[in-house]
Copies of this chain bind each other. A is one copy, B any other.
Amino acid sequence: MTDNLIEETLAKFNRGVVMVITGNGKGKTTAAIGQALRALGHGKKVFMIQFMKGKKYGEVLAAEKCLPDFTIRQSGLDSFVMRDNPAPIDIELAKEGFKLAGQVVASGEYDLVILDEINVALDFKLLPLAEVVDMIHNKPATVDLILTGRYAPQEIIDLADTVSDIQEIRHHYTRGIKERAGMEY
């Protein structure tokens, strides 16, 4: 094999994963956070951008308190985005978050980058699909990338190496159990 072929082959087997976690069931963001903690345990650096979220989730508090290699930035408000009529501020914050995501991914400084709820931001047309597809195509080979959220566009699913679809069989809201710190946020 030529050097180039060896390099390509190695890249194929060592390259980072593009993972999509979608579906209507509980566990998408937490599955990504669990991947983050697993990576951190092996000394890796993780960056998570949470689109359409502004609330201080437990993962944000935990990362700030004791996980210096786990950076979380939120790029949304703590209020519901209207699907068919997003406010200009929702679009602006999503775009800012995506700009930051592009810089973080391209820097190669992080082993794992999580774009939390980006699938929803795409479905709600807060972000242009073509730019996200470009970012995935152009990411440094070794970076692992996780995209979470319902309604993952087919183009993203086609690009992904791993796709997990979390189906809701039951949710505790239907049993009268309400939202709670540590469980939903």
Contact = CB atoms under 8 A, between A and B. Distances in A.
B13 A41 contact: no
Contacts of A32: 30, 34
Interface in A1-53: 12-15, 17, 19, 21, 23, 25-42, 44
Given A33-B33, A41-B58, A58-B39, A170 B178 contact: no
Q: Is the interface of A mostly helix, strand, loop or mixed?
A: mixed
Interface residues of A, number: 63
Contact of A42 (B15, B171, B181): B181
A171 B30 CA distance: 19
Given A34-B29, A34-B33, A59-B41, A15 B177 contact: yes
Interface centre among A28, A60, A66, by most chain B C-beta atoms within 10 angstroms, is A66
